[in-house]
Amino acid sequence: MFVVLAPSVIGVMLLESALRPPRRAFGVTGVLPEEVGIRAADGTALRAWYSPPARGSSGDAVIVLHGVGDNRLGVVSFASLFRRHGYAVLTPDSRGHGESGGLVTYGLRESDDVKRWAEWLEQRGARRLFGLGESMGAAILLQSLEAGAPLCAVVAESPFSTFREIAYDRMGQLFGLGTWFGRYPMRPVVEAALLYSRLRYGIALENVSPLDAVRATTAPVLLIHGPADRNIPVRHSRRIAAEKRAQVSLWEPSGAPHTRAYATHPAEFEKRVLALFGSCTDDTPRASGRIGAVPLAR
């Protein structure tokens, strides 16, 4: 009986912590962007900061997504970078983070959230839309392309390829062992967690797949993933890049740990990202259709 129940109990505990990661405090920021909000398709309240370009306006805007356990404050350095180059910037709190409600679904519901934020930006007058995401935010951004988010190009730093694959990694990391440990001895724990998520919350995490989303998109994608990443191994991005070499490129900055390419290679990071965004033209294919953003009461 213990052999049967133990994986289920461990899986449930780990799944609950994955759906409800600790919320990072905002702290103090020297910038005073506009506080904005919308409602998601399921009614979840979503919050973000909106910042106009520092000078002039190209009509372009960037959505910047943070990683798991973080919030919009964690990506303000990117907001400063893009604003200097004439982009408006939207930095949302992903659902289950910061001041946004809901459970974390790693892209299942967040992908439509991104689509709604993109359409909100269009209503604010944005002409071309771009995206940059880190870690979980990168995985969400890639999945938003399949959901129809009208983005001209996307930069994804340190994404995972599928939820199941990163779950195997997490099991190995938890016990100080390799991915093999999660894929084989701990597979019952992973499967129990996935089953619990479906039965308890109706969230099919086994369907979370940035890999499949990239297979289906025509948008230009720049993957950034340091070989020194010990959080999400670089093989995840290599696998994604191998699927669609025509429009997906992969930069592996040497010595860069998890989501630290901008900190370790600032000039090269800026050059590559801005070149990707600059390569998009007004006739770049974009998803059609609009969903009205519902103003969120303050």
The CATH number fitting domain 2-22+34-278, selected from 3.40.920.10, 3.40.47.10, 1.10.1580.10, 3.40.50.1820 = 3.40.50.1820
In this predicted structure, what is the pLDDT of residue 30?
A: 52
* Average pLDDT along the chain: 89
pLDDT digits (tens, 9 = 90+) for 122-144: 999 999 999 999 999 999 999 99
pLDDT above 80: residue 49: yes
Query: How is the chain split into domains, by residue range?
Result: 2-22+34-278
What pLDDT is stored for residue 65 in this prediction? 98
Binned at pLDDT 50, 70 and 90, residue 26 comes out as: low
Give the chain as a DSSP string. -HHHHHHHHHHHHHHHHHHSPPPPP----S--PEEEEEE-TT--EEEEEEE--SSS--SEEEEEE--TT--GGGGHHHHHHHHHTT-EEEEEPPTTSTT--S---TTTTHHHHHHHHHHHHHHTT-SEEEEEEETHHHHHHHHHHHTT---SEEEEES--S-HHHHHHHHHHHHTT--HHHHHTTTHHHHHHHHHHHHHHH---GGG--HHHHHHT--S-EEEE--TT-SSS-THHHHHHHHH-TTTEEEE--TT--TT-HHHHSHHHHHHHHHHHHHT--TTS-------PPPPPP-
Asked if the model's pLDDT at residue 1 lies above 70, the reply is: no
> Which stretch of 57-61, 171-175, 187-191 has the lowest confidence by average pLDDT?
57-61
Q: What is the pLDDT of residues 233-291, one digit of tens each?
A: 999 999 999 987 789 999 999 999 999 999 999 999 999 999 999 998 765 555 433 33
Looking at residue 281, its pLDDT comes to 75
Cα 220 from Cα 62, distance rounded (Å): 15
Query: So what's the pLDDT on residue 25?
Result: 63
Q: What is the pLDDT of residue 283?
A: 59
Tokens (6 digits) for 64: 């910047």
